[in-house]
């Protein structure tokens, strides 16, 4: 695997689509999109950071293929994924006089992808859209699989739709401008594939993760491709999360609750919360005797090695548990958790009682309190 770009396919019958991953793709975006566009006109939705860095390359790539583009630039950050911005975005897109055959192009991270994707699902009862992910998190996870959503008062991603894009273009060159902290947060979602289903990939990450995070473009390309291949496979087998796809939520039930506690902002990024959540899932699995303690230790060691957050910060067990109970994945009142029998062997558990969970969370708080006293 070296150089050039690779095409993968998400097999979903008449909603199948390609993922193109590689270098220099923004400049060729028009050529790549031509095959799937029903009109030589698109509306590009992006955020202000990405617009400054990558919009020009994309717009000229589109123009080169004779595709007209109109641009809508939103403020960066999770706060943009709310009703107010969703409403404004929809009104702004409609004000451009779009037709059903006009496609949206989501250029940005998971925030833009989720928001523009949900706008595409909703406008005129469904517009085509192309994902052009520019963060590692979006390239390896959020741009593939058609989950679109916004955040509401009751919680994150609670209003949304399953709505597949018609194409995903992951240009790994865009990662060169990503702040290191954002890259690292996205790296957590890369490790996730190793942790849930592929021990050999985790071994590979132990060898190569640090260099990947530091900037090795070829390693990044390989990790993006591998992650997209895994995601495409899982989504093709279980589009609406009736089974295996739920494993992709590894670390997310804890993570979303931590994110909510931290206020969905710069204090704790989504990927950082997921990384902590995955550590908690391993610690809980080890504590319940489901997974070797050594494996939980190995995961923590890898996160420390690449520089991911491994300390929880101040948490209140009851408040975290209350937040976890609001998760979309609660079924018949039971919190559904993804736990692990070992690295590469995640499974869905509805067996953990509230009492056991509360005890585990209190223990985590106590460990933190004693660690803080010791310093």
Residues belonging to the active site? 125, 147, 189, 231, 241, 245, 249, 252, 256, 270
The angle formed by the CA atoms of residues 190, 205 and 285, to the nearest 5 degrees, is: 70
Cα(66)–Cα(2) distance, rounded to whole angstroms?
31
Q: Please count the residues of this chain forming the interface with ligand NAD, following the rule CB under 6 A.
A: 31
> Does position 361 bind ligand NAD by CB under 6 A?
no
Q: At its nearest, how many Å lie between ligand NAD and the CB of residue 217?
A: 13
Decide whether 156 or 197 has the Cβ nearer to ligand NAD: 156
Orientation of helix 293-306 relative to helix 270-287, angle to 10°: 160
Contact of 195 with 345, CB cutoff 8 Å: no
Decide whether 154 or 355 has the Cβ nearer to ligand NAD: 154
> Does position 135 bind ligand NAD by CB under 6 A?
yes
Cα(50)–Cα(284) distance, rounded to whole angstroms?
38
Among 44, 111, 247, 281, binds ligand NAD (CB under 6 A): 111
Decide whether 206 or 323 has the Cβ nearer to ligand NAD: 323
309 phi, psi to nearest 5 deg: -60, 135
Of 328, 308, 307, 324, nearest in space to 360 by CA? 324
> Does position 178 bind ligand NAD by CB under 6 A?
yes
> Does position 81 bind ligand NAD by CB under 6 A?
yes
Beta strands in 244-368 (DSSP E): 337-342, 345-349
Q: At its nearest, how many Å lie between ligand NAD and the CB of residue 49?
A: 3
Helix count (H) and strand count (E) of the chain?
14, 11
> Does position 266 bind ligand NAD by CB under 6 A?
no
**Residue 56 DSSP SS3:** helix
Q: At its nearest, how many Å lie between ligand NAD and the CB of residue 280?
A: 18
DSSP 212-263: HHHT-HHHHHHHHHHHHHHHHHHHHH-TT-SSGGGGGGTTHHHHHHHHHHHT
Decide whether 173 or 206 has the Cβ nearer to ligand NAD: 173
> Does position 251 bind ligand NAD by CB under 6 A?
no
> Does position 174 bind ligand NAD by CB under 6 A?
yes
> Does position 78 bind ligand NAD by CB under 6 A?
yes
Cα(54)–Cα(49) distance, rounded to whole angstroms?
9
Contact of 62 with 33, CB cutoff 8 Å: yes
Q: At its nearest, how many Å lie between ligand NAD and the CB of residue 32?
A: 18
Q: Please list every residue from 136 through 155 that binds ligand NAD, using CB under 6 A.
A: 137-138, 141-142, 145, 147
> Does position 157 bind ligand NAD by CB under 6 A?
yes
> Does position 249 bind ligand NAD by CB under 6 A?
no
For residues 24 to 63, the per-residue mask of contacts with ligand NAD, x marking binding by CB under 6 A and - elsewhere, is -----------------------x-xx--x----------
Buried b (16+ CB within 10 A) or exposed e, 273-308: bbbbbbbbbbbbbbeeebbbeebbebbbebbeebeb
Cα(228)–Cα(236) distance, rounded to whole angstroms?
12
Q: Please list every residue from 200 through 229 that binds ligand NAD, using CB under 6 A.
A: none
> Does position 306 bind ligand NAD by CB under 6 A?
no
> Does position 134 bind ligand NAD by CB under 6 A?
yes
> Does position 241 bind ligand NAD by CB under 6 A?
no
Where on the chain is the footprint of ligand NAD (CB under 6 A)?
47, 49-50, 53, 76-78, 81, 108-112, 114, 134-135, 137-138, 141-142, 145, 147, 156-157, 174, 177-178, 182, 185, 270-271
């Amino acid at each position: 695997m070296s150089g050039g770009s690779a095409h993968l396919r998400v097999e979903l019958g008449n909603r199948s689509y390609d993922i193109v991953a590689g270098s220099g793709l923004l400049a060729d975006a028009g050529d790549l999109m031509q095959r799937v566009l029903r009109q030589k006109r698109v509306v590009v939705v992006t955020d202000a950071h990405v617009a400054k860095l990558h919009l020009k390359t994309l717009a000229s790539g589109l123009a080169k293929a004779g595709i007209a583009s109109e641009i809508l630039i939103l403020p960066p950050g999770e706060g943009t994924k709310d009703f107010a911005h969703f409403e404004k975005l929809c009104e702004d897109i409609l004000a451009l006089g779009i037709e059903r055959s006009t496609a949206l192009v989501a250029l940005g991270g998971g925030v833009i992808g989720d928001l523009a994707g949900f706008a595409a699902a909703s406008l005129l009862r469904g517009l085509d859209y192309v994902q052009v992910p520019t963060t590692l998190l979006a390239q390896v996870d959020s741009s593939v699989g058609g989950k679109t959503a916004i955040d509401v008062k009751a919680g994150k991603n609670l209003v949304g739709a399953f709505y597949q894009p018609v194409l995903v273009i992951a240009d790994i060159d865009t990662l060169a401008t990503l702040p290191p902290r954002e890259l690292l947060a996205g790296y957590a979602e890369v490790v996730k594939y190793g942790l849930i289903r592929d021990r050999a990939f985790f071994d590979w990450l132990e060898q190569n993760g640090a260099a990947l995070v530091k900037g090795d473009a070829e390693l990044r390309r390989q990790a993006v491709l591998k992650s997209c291949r895994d995601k495409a496979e899982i989504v093709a087998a279980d589009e609406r999360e009736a089974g295996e796809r739920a494993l992709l939520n590894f670390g997310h039930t804890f993570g979303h609750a931590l994110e909510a506690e931290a206020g969905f902002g710069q204090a704790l990024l989504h990927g950082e919360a997921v990384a902590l959540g995955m550590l908690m899932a391993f610690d809980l699995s080890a504590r319940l005797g489901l997974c070797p303690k050594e494996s939980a230790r190995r995961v923590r060691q890898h996160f420390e090695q690449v520089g991911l957050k491994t300390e929880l910060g101040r948490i209140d067990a009851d408040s975290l548990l209350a937040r976890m109970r609001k998760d979309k994945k609660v079924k018949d009142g039971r919190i559904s958790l993804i736990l692990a029998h070992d690295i590469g062997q995640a499974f869905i558990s509805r067996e953990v009682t509230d009492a056991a969970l509360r005890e585990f969370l209190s223990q985590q708080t106590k460990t933190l309190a004693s660690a803080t006293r010791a310093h």
